[in-house]
Amino acid sequence: DVKVTQSSRYLVKRTGEKVFLECVQDMDHENMFWYRQDPGLGLRLIYFSYDVKMKEKGDIPEGYSVSREKKERFSLILESASTNQTSMYLCASTPGQRTGELFFGEGSRLTVL
């Protein structure tokens, strides 16, 4: 059973703080993704990674960066959090390159005050 674990379910941060969101998957998947979920906007891709130390921008990368030092771990970094980054963040992973099931974590709800 694939498990994608996000380190924090709920976070409250202040404007300007640096925020780390951690995601770990235990199925040796090559691909990992960070999405942002907002009501009425669906899921929007922030960044993805198809291999260790590799990263590609998604649709809304501004204000975010990522790190993938190990295959199982993909981190999302907000260098200087802003109130418009208040959202639900979902991590996902999938094996291989072709389309198929995305395995999601349970999400991290970030509130920036």
Q: E strands along the chain, which residues? A: 4-6, 10-13, 19-25, 31-38, 42-49, 56-57, 65-70, 73-78, 87-94, 103-104, 108-112
Return the number of the residue (80 or 111) whose C-beta is nearest other proteins: 111
Q: Are 91 and 104 in contact (CB under 8 A)?
A: yes
- CB-nearer residue toward other proteins: 75 or 94: 94
Closest distance between other proteins and the C-beta of residue 94, in Å? 5
Nearest distance in Å: CB 103, other proteins: 8
Binding stretches for other proteins (CB under 8 A): 4, 31, 33, 39-45, 48, 50, 56, 58, 90, 94, 97-102, 104-107
